[in-house]
Amino acid sequence: MMVSDVPICHTCGEPVGVDGNGQLFVACHECHFPICKVCVQYDIKEGRNVCLRCGSPFDENLLMDADTKRSGDRNTMASHLSHSQDVGVHARHVSSVSTVDSELNDESGNPIWKNRVESWKDKKNKKKRPAVKTEQEAQIPVHQQMEEKQISEEAAVTHSFSSVYPIPSSRLTPYRIVIIMRLIILALFFQYRITNPVDSAFGLWLTSIICEIWFAFSWVLDQFPKWFPVCRDTFIDRLSARFEREGEPSQLAAVDFFVSTVDPLKEPPLITANTVLSILAVDYPVDKVSCYVSDDGAAMLTFESLVETADFARMWVPFCKKFSIEPRAPEFYFSQKIDYLKDKVQPSFVKERRAMKRAYEEFKVRVNALVAKAQKTPDEGWSMQDGTAWPGNNPRDHPGMIQVFLGNTGAHDIEGNELPRLVYVSREKRPGYQHHKKAGAENALVRVSAVLTNAPFILNLDCDHYVNNSQAIREAMCFLMDPQVGRDVCYVQFPQRFDGIDRSDRYANRNTVFFDVNMKGLDGIQGPVYVGTGCVFNRQALYGYGPPTLPSLSKKSSSSSCSWCGCCSCCCPSKKISKDPTEIQRDAKREELDAAIFNLGEIDNYDEYERSMLISQLSFEKTFGLSSVFIESTLMENGGVAESANPSTLIKEAIHVIGCGYEEKTAWGKEIGWIYGSVTEDILTGFKMHCRGWRSIYCMPMRPAFKGSAPINLSDRLHQVLRWALGSVEIFLSRHCPLWYGFAGGRLKWLQRMAYINTIVYPFTSLPLVAYCSLPAICLLTGKFIIPTLSNLASTLFLGLFLSIILTSVLELRWSGVSIEDIWRNEQFWVIGGVSAHLFAVFQGFLKMLAGIDTNFTVTAKAADDAEFGELYMVKWTTLLIPPTTLIVVNMVGVVAGFSDALNGGYEAWGPLFGKVFFAFWVIFHLYPFLKGLMGRQNRTPTIVVLWSVLLASVFSLVWVKINPFVNQVDSTTVAQSCIAIDC
């Protein structure tokens, strides 16, 4: 928020001011976080000597200045913060209820424009009445002023709900030094490799050089975004002390939970029910929690299981809150192998726990009976209890459906307490419309929730990710409601944790390296990427509004800046400008106003006529769609709905906003909400927010916030990776590619851009990886090698390169806390996924984007006899198994052939064999988990996989022997002359 181009302090809301030289005061020269000198000095006195945004230390001059003024400024700072709280530093984050009526007709004009004008008038009147405020303050008794001053001082001490601290320099500095050393060694290594070609195997040498250059490029993209890793702490007690004062209503912000499901036969309703129950029992004020379940398959099974879930929640929620149990998903709570009596001192706990477990077993029987009944659909379709046909009998052609189960319907738990709201939503589906799968379902939930509850924050979860930490929402609120860092935070991302994975984690299902290393590094730049689940969003960021800390719009500039990402050259078509100076000025003003629509902090800079243009209903309808109720909700920064709103009217409006044609000719999926255009809509959505200038936060509480179920067998894991890689390829071929999107705005930091580039180019590493994994076998079969005879310098370079690789990994796990096994499993699956799923994703992506051909790889399950981790050894036939199996067979054949040649060639042949066999075993060791998973515990492999792999290996070997391109061709005339000379 800017006043006369002077930034506002994030702590106290006052202008930042100037320093001793008359220049704008800057506390942090790294990220230019707007904070005034008084607040900086106070933070330094409290021991916080680093920037809250980026973690960089403050200037030494500020530290010295704070020491000299330690005693004189304490009272000034306290009053400063007291004033900031009165003005409303926290007002943006407190969930309030709007008193504006939600009119659906336009009989008396546009209600949105009226309400905004009234609010502007109020703001103006407040600015023109400073004398009245002074008189009112003078009338306050002295003892009351002293009490308020004491309260403000206490609030100043506890005003920060979170803190950021960099990784200790003793761990991070050696890590960075090794990275620089590795870069230098890589440069010397490539200088040697390129200047020393292998003439006898030039093709192999050239292939290896190209592959190695790409691997180095990929390493740079992956490594440097981890240059500034940080960790964060939260202070939930301070949050409660500030927003949950005894005897007063809770002022914590409301949260809308989104749970998405499609097919109840593939996503068991019992798992979805556990997720919903864990949400309803979360440790948060019940009137601030609403749970929306999106059934994109319109299945009656999902609806009926949700009815049973709502009924069971009346017993489960009070039980969880009474005894503070964790986790609050009954299936996972009762399956824990721990002492459940630990820390439970209530004598009635054992009795009530047994009764609750019995009730849950009965609940499971009812849900499983519904699942068994749904296995066979009647010919006439499903019917409801009143005999009418279920509207969703045709999942591709049905009307929108909404059902409110709990909340304001009068349903209470068994103890008479209110329960959170639970809403079933199934958006309209009609033939001929593009529904955009999960992204479209999430956008429909955004609109429904805005009409019914309009919480300022949204948390989305997959149906198999339950709330494992009942205080997870409070953890997120420590950032989103923090007056210092919350204003420009678009979302708080939690790491994904999983149940049901064996200890060895053979296929790297936990993704520990990504969640514990890469995401910490991104948190030190502009924030972690959005990973699709376990994320708390600022609703205003989803609507496309820019962060309040954006710099003010330049009225003198005639060029337009895109309101979405800050650059018109990347995402907005250029507008034709007339040669007439008057028209040029008018067009520039109009473009400036259009840009300001999504930066509401600039509204005060315009007169009333310009504001009418700015807030016109036509502009919003083109963006958000034809719903005045929804449009009005987008202007409520603090959330809430009108008190006088009629519930039946709101339900009708909610049905309207989930219509299949509502998004036509709007910005939904293009610039606002979840972004369309890729199966990995999560990457695109987070990328667009970061391009607009927002930042995100990575929150890693001691107890994992959410836990989910991971596909643990080999085929399912490869198909999961295939979907992710395909989404990255789609983004690479779209207009949102980070290689060329959003440069002109300058709001996306370079290291953050590098991280996003890495997320969309990594599937292309599969091409050089397949070639590089084939080179050892080719060298062993032909007797050639990609490296010439090593000199002392070359040996030193190779040794230094391997040592730097090892040191980088060791120092990385030292500051991140991950284990060596996790890094090794990640390295192994990088090869496994690279030569299989990533390879198929590249070809499938190009076929889909360029030729319009959508190729699907089906999976057929086989039976498994193992009880524990039985799915881990389940073998499923899929095309993805062929390339890695072929590589294993070819390399094994090459090793055998190499040793045979060495035995026949004598002592001198063993030296060159060592290097070739080393690289062959490198490939085999990395593919070992794949081989183990392919064989299974009972060593049963689908015959088709063995046949295809042996066939490809045989054909490859025969063709190689026939062509033999890397051996010099001998002319027959030369052979005849040689024979004559020898007198043969």
Residue 335 labelled as part of a binding site: no
Look at residue 433 in the predicted model and tell me its pLDDT: 86
| Lowest-confidence region among 292-306, 431-445, 508-522, 593-607 | 593-607
pLDDT (0 to 100) of residue 99: 27
Give yes or no for residue 900 having a pLDDT over 80: no
Q: Which helix (H) or strand (E) holds 376?
A: none
Q: Which helix (H) or strand (E) holds 299?
A: none
Q: How confident is the model at residue 283, as a pLDDT? A: 92
> Three-state SS across 889-921?
HHHHHHHHHHHHHHHHHCHHHHHHHHHHHHHHH
pLDDT for the residue 943: 55
Question: Which of 17, 46, 62 marks a domain boundary?
Answer: 62
- 410 with 464, same domain: the answer is yes
More confident residue, 469 or 85: 469
Residue 156: the pLDDT is 42
837 or 116, which is more confident = 837
Angstrom distances, CA of residue 227 to CA of 291, 515, 520, 534, 842:
38, 16, 10, 25, 29
Are residues 868 and 750 located together in one domain of the fold? yes
Helix (H) or strand (E) holding 579: none
∠ CA 440-445-450 to the nearest 5 degrees? 130
The answer to the question of residue 389 being in a domain is yes
Higher pLDDT, 874 or 885: 885
At residue 547, the pLDDT reads 84
Q: Is 498 helix (H, G, I), strand (E, B) or coil?
A: strand
Burial per residue of 428-450, b for 16 or more beta-carbon CB atoms within 10 angstroms, e otherwise:
bbeeeeebbebbbbbbbbbbbbb
Q: How far is CA 67 from CA 117, 163, 820, in A?
A: 47, 22, 45
267 labelled binding-site residue? yes
Which of 937, 953, 970 is where one domain is finished? 937
The pLDDT value given to residue 122: 52
Q: CA 209 to CA 310: how far, in whole Å?
A: 62
Tell me what pLDDT residue 971 has.
52
Q: What contacts 610, CB < 8 A, 6 or more positions away?
A: 589, 593
Active site residue 499: no
| The pLDDT of residue 460 | 93
pLDDT tens string 705-728 = 999 887 777 778 888 888 899 989
CATH number at residue 19: 3.30.40.10
Residue 724 is assigned to a structural domain of this protein = no
On the question of pLDDT at 440 being above 80, the answer is yes
Using CA atoms, how far residue 712 sits from 266, 507, 874, in Å, is 15, 7, 9
437 is an annotated ligand-binding site residue:
yes
The encoded tokens of residue 942 equal 């689908």
Which of 124-128, 292-296, 390-394, 955-959 is most confident? 292-296
Q: Is 748 helix (H, G, I), strand (E, B) or coil?
A: coil
Does residue 639 surpass a pLDDT of 70? yes
Measured CA to CA, the distance from residue 902 to residue 118 in angstroms comes to 90
Cβ pair 329, 460 in contact under 8 A:
no
**Closest residue by Cα to residue 868 from 941, 937, 932, 940:** 937
pLDDT of residue 255: 94
DSSP E strand stretches across 648-737: 695-698, 706-709
- State which H helix or E strand residue 346 sits in: none
HSE-up of residue 58 (Cα within 13 Å, Cβ side): 27
Task: Report which of residues 387 and 869 the model is more confident about.
Answer: 387
Copy the structure tokens of residue 667.
């910005």
Per-residue pLDDT reduced to its tens digit, 938-959: 445 555 566 666 666 666 665 6
Residue 588 domain-assigned?
no
pLDDT of residue 973: 54
How many domains is the chain built from?
3
3-class state of residue 234 by DSSP:
strand
H-assigned helices in 141-200? 142-157, 169-195
pLDDT score of 907: 58
Residues 6+ positions from 455 with CB-CB distance below 8 Å: 95, 253, 254, 255, 256, 288, 290, 449, 539, 639
What sign does the CA torsion over 628, 630, 636, 637 have?
negative
Looking only at the bridges linking them, the beta strands covering 695-698 and 489-493 are parallel
Higher pLDDT residue, 19 or 883?
A: 883
Q: What pLDDT, on the 0 to 100 scale, is given for residue 282? A: 94
Q: How far apart are CA 276 and CA 464, in angstroms?
A: 10
697 plus 818 within the same structural domain: no
456 and 473: one domain? yes
In 728-806, DSSP assigns E strands to none
For residues 782 and 911, state if they share a domain: yes
> Considering 937, 962, 978, which residue would you say is the last residue of a domain?
937
215 and 331 belong to one structural domain: no
Same domain, 687 and 778: no
**Range scoring the smallest mean pLDDT among 53-62, 160-169, 388-397:** 53-62
Q: Is residue 189 part of a domain?
A: no
Q: Which of 4-8, 81-85, 156-160, 429-433 has the highest mean pLDDT?
A: 429-433
Residue 411 lies in a domain: yes
Question: DSSP 3-state assignment of 51?
Answer: coil
Alpha helices of 510-603 — where are they, by DSSP H?
512-513, 519-523, 539-542, 568-571, 581-596
What does the radius of gyration of the chain's CA atoms come to, in whole angstroms? Answer: 32
Q: Is the dihedral of CA 842, 847, 852, 858 positive or negative?
A: negative
> At 682, which CATH number?
3.90.550.10
**From 295, 682, 716, 822, active-site residue:** 682
Does residue 175 fall inside a structural domain? no
Residue 204 — pLDDT band, cuts 50, 70, 90? confident
Which structure tokens are listed for 410? 């009068």
Which helix (H) or strand (E) segment holds residue 233: the answer is strand 230-234
| Three-state DSSP state, 604 | helix
The predicted structure's pLDDT at residue 854:
64
How buried is residue 301: exposed, middle or buried, by Cβ count under 10 Å (0-12/13-18/19+)? buried
Question: Residue 866: pLDDT above 90?
Answer: no
Cα–Cα distance, 883 to 771 (Å, whole number): 11
- For residue 766, pLDDT beyond 60: yes
Q: Within this chain, do residues 275 and 247 fall inside the same structural domain, yes or no?
A: yes
- Same domain (yes/no): 692, 762: no
**Under 8 Å CB-to-CB from 956, ≥6 apart: which residues?**
886, 890
**Confidence band for 474, pLDDT divided at 50, 70 and 90:** very high
HEC-encoded secondary structure of 851-898 = CCCCCCCCCECCCCCCCCCHHHHCCCECHHHHHHHHHHHHHHHHHHHH
Residue range of the domain that includes 213? 202-229+743-937
Which of 696-710, 773-787, 877-891 shows the highest mean pLDDT?
Answer: 696-710
Residue closest to 857 by CA, chosen among 832, 883, 831, 887: 883
For residue 587, being part of any structural domain is answered with no
Q: Does residue 762 share a domain with residue 701?
A: no
Tell me: pLDDT of 567 over 50. Answer: no
Report percent pLDDT > 70 for the chain: 70
Of 407, 849, 904, nearest in space to 641 by CA: 407
Taking only the tens place, the pLDDT of each residue in 793-816 is: 778 888 888 898 889 888 888 888
Give the C-alpha separation, 142 to 858, whole Å.
78
pTM flag (> 0.85) = no
- pLDDT at 671 exceeding the cut of 60: yes
Q: How many CB atoms lie within 10 A of CB 715?
A: 22
Catalytic, out of 295, 296, 413, 482: 296
Q: Is 266 annotated as a binding residue?
A: yes
Cα(313)–Cα(210) distance, integer angstroms: 60
Higher local confidence (pLDDT), 537 or 848:
537
> Which of 345-354, 617-626, 815-824 has the least mean pLDDT?
617-626
Contacts of 663 (CB under 8 A, 6+ apart): 440, 443, 625, 669
Can you count the helices (H) and strands (E) in the chain? Answer: 36, 15
How far apart are alpha carbons 875 and 615 in whole angstroms?
59
* Chain mean pLDDT for the chain: 75
pLDDT at 856: 56
In a shared domain, residues 806 and 676: no
**Cα 38 from chain centroid?**
36
Q: How far is CA 221 from CA 215, 218, 751, in A?
A: 10, 5, 9
Look at 107 and 625; give whichever has higher pLDDT.
Answer: 625
More confident residue, 401 or 712: 401
Lowest mean pLDDT among 453-457, 584-588, 741-745: 584-588
927 band by pLDDT with thresholds 50, 70 and 90: confident
Average of per-residue pLDDT across 310-332: 91
Q: Is residue 242 part of a domain?
A: yes
The pLDDT value given to residue 469: 92
Nearest to 225 by CA among 817, 812, 952: 812
Residues 375 and 462 grouped into a single domain: yes
Does the annotation count 65 as an active-site position?
no
Alpha-carbon span 951 to 946, nearest angstrom: 8
The residue assigned the tokens 């990710």 is 465
Grouping H, G, I as helix, E, B as strand and the rest as coil, residue 105 is coil
Contacts of 755 (CB under 8 A, 6+ apart): 221, 225, 518, 522, 525, 529
Query: By C-alpha distance, which of 647, 693, 443 is closest to 549?
Result: 693
pLDDT at residue 82, rounded to an integer: 38
212-264 per-position pLDDT tens digit: 999 999 999 999 999 989 899 899 988 888 888 888 888 899 999 999 998 88
Q: What per-residue confidence (pLDDT) applies to 214? A: 93
